[in-house]
């Protein structure tokens, strides 16, 4: 492991590879306990999370549901609950996956908020966006979608005195692969420190269907390239990202891409700049 790998892994709280199933189970229990304690500390009883159909939100959602079920059993308080939110933009092209994810999560409550009209309405008010090229406008609108989804989740959480869950983990954090103040905004991140392969392992352990835990990851924010795989955007595979974070040797090109991207996206992982 290079010094830079070690530095980045430490900064992102990367979890070592699971030595065996017992280690995996212990990590699952630790993360459920974290979710429960976070709710207790906040003095609140409701959790909210957008479910996209990908493995990250599916895994975080199932952990949240299990956590509130345990809280209800431990306290006898039926007010503890988890709200899973579907947030399509018009018709989602992988709607079947999203439906499968909701079936796996088994949330106490399911809500659907179609963000299309809100996003289009905001676009119509912004001259700066209308003047962009099609490709640039598509990119900007993609970030608006992510932020609008978070606006909806926080509105639901506020209305129910709850907390919003985020799905960020180490393999996305190192690449800055989230929208600032969009899916990067949340109250708790139960997947923090895990690499992509570990998220898949946990999803499989929790009973997710193979189509969910092996699904090709996609942010699916840009209309000109629907379903574009994350790895195409990264220029490096999640397998290599995971290996880098866990101290293994990777291709020189992959190493350079990961370090360069980590440095370039540092602003996403820190608080806003302020005078010192």
Is 276 among the domain residues?
Answer: no
Read off the CATH number of the domain in which 68 is found: 3.40.50.620
Ranges assigned E (strand) in the chain: 46-50, 81-86, 109-112, 162-164
165: β partners = 188
pLDDT digits (tens, 9 = 90+) for 19-50: 999 999 999 999 999 999 999 999 999 999 99
pLDDT at 226 (0 to 100): 77
CA max distance for the chain: 57
Instruction: Over range 57-64, report the average pLDDT.
Output: 98
Is 274 among the domain residues?
Answer: no
- Taking the model in full, what pTM does it have? 0.94
Is 275 among the domain residues?
Answer: no
Two structure tokens written together for 246: 């866990």
Is 155 among the domain residues?
Answer: yes
pLDDT digits (tens, 9 = 90+) for 172-213: 999 999 999 999 999 999 999 999 999 999 999 999 999 999
Q: Choose the catalytic residue: 172, 183, 187, 230.
A: 172
pLDDT digits (tens, 9 = 90+) for 94-134: 788 999 999 999 999 999 999 999 999 998 999 998 889 99
Told to judge if 168 belongs to the known catalytic residues of this protein, a careful annotator would answer no
pLDDT at 94 (0 to 100): 79
Place of tokens 């933009």: 89
Q: Note down the domain range covering 28.
A: 3-267
Domains held by the chain: number? 1
Please report how many Cα atoms fall inside a 13 Å half-sphere around the Cα of residue 110, on the Cβ side.
12
Told to judge if 56 belongs to the known catalytic residues of this protein, a careful annotator would answer yes
Our CA dihedral for 190, 23, 102, 81, rounded to 10 degrees, sits at: -50
Counting beta carbons within 10 angstroms of the beta carbon of residue 139, is it exposed (0 to 12), middle (13 to 18) or buried (19 or more)?
Answer: middle
């Amino acid at each position: 492991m290079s010094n830079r790998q070690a530095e980045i892994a430490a900064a992102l709280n990367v979890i070592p590879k699971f030595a065996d199933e017992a280690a995996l189970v212990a990590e699952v229990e630790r993360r459920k306990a974290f979710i429960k304690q976070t709710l207790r500390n906040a003095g609140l009883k409701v959790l909210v999370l957008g479910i996209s159909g990908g493995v990250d939100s599916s895994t975080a959602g199932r952990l949240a549901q299990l956590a509130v079920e345990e809280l209800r059993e431990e306290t006898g308080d039926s007010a503890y609950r988890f709200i899973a939110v579907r947030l399509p933009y018009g018709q989602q092209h992988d709607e079947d996956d999203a439906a499968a994810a909701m079936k796996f999560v088994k949330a106490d409550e399911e809500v659907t908020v179609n963000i299309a009209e809100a996003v289009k309405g905001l676009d119509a008010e912004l001259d700066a966006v209308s003047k962009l090229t099609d490709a640039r406008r598509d990119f900007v609108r993609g970030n608006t979608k992510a932020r609008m989804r978070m606006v909806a989740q926080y509105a639901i959480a506020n209305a129910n005195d709850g907390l919003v869950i985020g799905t960020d983990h180490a393999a996305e954090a190192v690449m800055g692969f989230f929208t600032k103040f969009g899916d990067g905004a949340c109250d708790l991140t139960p997947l923090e420190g895990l690499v992509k392969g570990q998220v898949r392992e946990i999803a499989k352990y929790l009973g997710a269907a193979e189509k969910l835990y092996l699904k090709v990851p996609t942010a699916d924010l840009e209309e000109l390239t629907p379903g574009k795989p994350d790895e195409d955007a990264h220029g490096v595979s999640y397998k290599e990202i995971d290996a880098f974070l866990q101290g293994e040797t990777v291709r020189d090109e992959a190493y350079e891409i990961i370090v360069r991207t980590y440095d370039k996206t540092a602003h996403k992982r820190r608080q806003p700049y302020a005078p010192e």
